[in-house]
Amino acid sequence: MAIFGLLLHHERPEAVGLAVETTARLEAAGHQVRFPMADAITAGLDGHGVDERDFAIGLDVAISLGGDGSMLRAVHLVAAHGVPVLGVNLGQLGYLTEVEPAGLQDALDGFLDGKHVIETRMLLAVRRVSADGDLAEDALLALNDAVLEKTPLGHTVRLDVSVDGTPFTPYAADGLIVATPTGSTAYNLSARGPIVAPTHRALVLTPVSPHMLFDRSLVLEPETRLRLTVSGHRPAGLAIDGRVLTELTPGEGIECTASAHPARLVTFAPRDFHRILKAKFGLSDR
């Protein structure tokens, strides 16, 4: 018997239908299925819901029914417990998802038969830094990026950057992105940052609309301790993987480095990153 965790996009009826169908099939085969409570309620399977804090405990695999946003949520919930994630694409292209809905049953059979590969992706460990320089004990995990940027009604922000404890330079910009290789094709790309193959390990620092002559990205070793501190007199918003979490005041900041916990993604064949990239941007062979 295996324990499956299901997560679904709450606003996609097809995700609800697939969740109900998959739960019935897995339970008929003698497996256990659980959902985060909010997902269970959305699917009408309240009895299968657990608290999000308990969701990953003992799981053999988490199945994400949605798009890349749903995959990000799944990784956030289970990565610290080493649980692999299988992504089912109910979105658009799906950089992170592995199978289409019609292929889910075959994918489940393949997983149970051991006919799968686990692809690891570097996660960022992001810790908040107080104005006194104290580092938060608990880290937030990011699969794509951590961003410090101007508040909605604000102007540019001033951010001091240090690398391994040594000051690098102050930035005046709309924001700064610290991206993983996986996240290099997300916000980093729209800010004209470099595309990095997703299985690499690196920190990519990219300014957003910098008001200064130096506007280049930096690609740093994953063990680098990269610290961003809000300076000047304006606050900055902190977003992790696209979710705005809090506002940092001058003197506060974040420290980013590679997490000890990678994201573990279920695949059944080598992921053709170049093919996905070509499809995303309509690139031709000639």
In a shared domain, residues 84 and 176? no
- Each residue's pLDDT tens digit, 260-281: 999 999 998 777 778 777 877 7
In a shared domain, residues 138 and 245? yes
Q: Which domain holds residue 62?
A: 3-121+263-281
- The predicted structure's pLDDT at residue 94: 66
Q: Please report whether residue 146 resides in a domain.
A: yes
Backbone angles phi, psi at 152, to 5 degrees: -55, -35
Q: What is the DSSP letter of 139?
A: P
Indicate which residue of 39, 46, 54, 68 is catalytic. Answer: 68
Q: What is the pLDDT along the chain (286 residues), one digit of tens a residue?
A: 899 999 999 989 999 999 999 999 999 999 999 999 999 999 999 999 999 999 999 999 999 999 889 999 999 999 999 999 999 998 766 678 888 999 999 999 999 999 999 999 999 999 999 999 999 989 999 999 999 999 877 789 999 999 999 999 999 999 999 999 999 999 999 999 999 999 999 999 999 999 998 999 999 999 999 999 999 889 999 999 999 999 999 999 999 999 999 999 999 877 777 877 787 777 877 6
In a shared domain, residues 107 and 132? no
In a shared domain, residues 76 and 109? yes
109 is catalytic: no
- Each residue's pLDDT tens digit, 120-153: 999 999 999 999 999 998 999 999 999 999 987 7
- The predicted structure's pLDDT at residue 93: 63
In a shared domain, residues 117 and 128? no
Q: What is the DSSP letter of 195?
A: P
Q: How far apart are CA 55 and CA 36, in angstroms?
A: 6
CB 227 within 8 A of CB 203: no
How many distinct helices (H) and strands (E) make up the chain?
A: 6, 19
With 0-12 / 13-18 / 19 or more C-beta atoms within 10 angstroms meaning exposed / middle / buried, residue 272 is exposed
In a shared domain, residues 114 and 46? yes
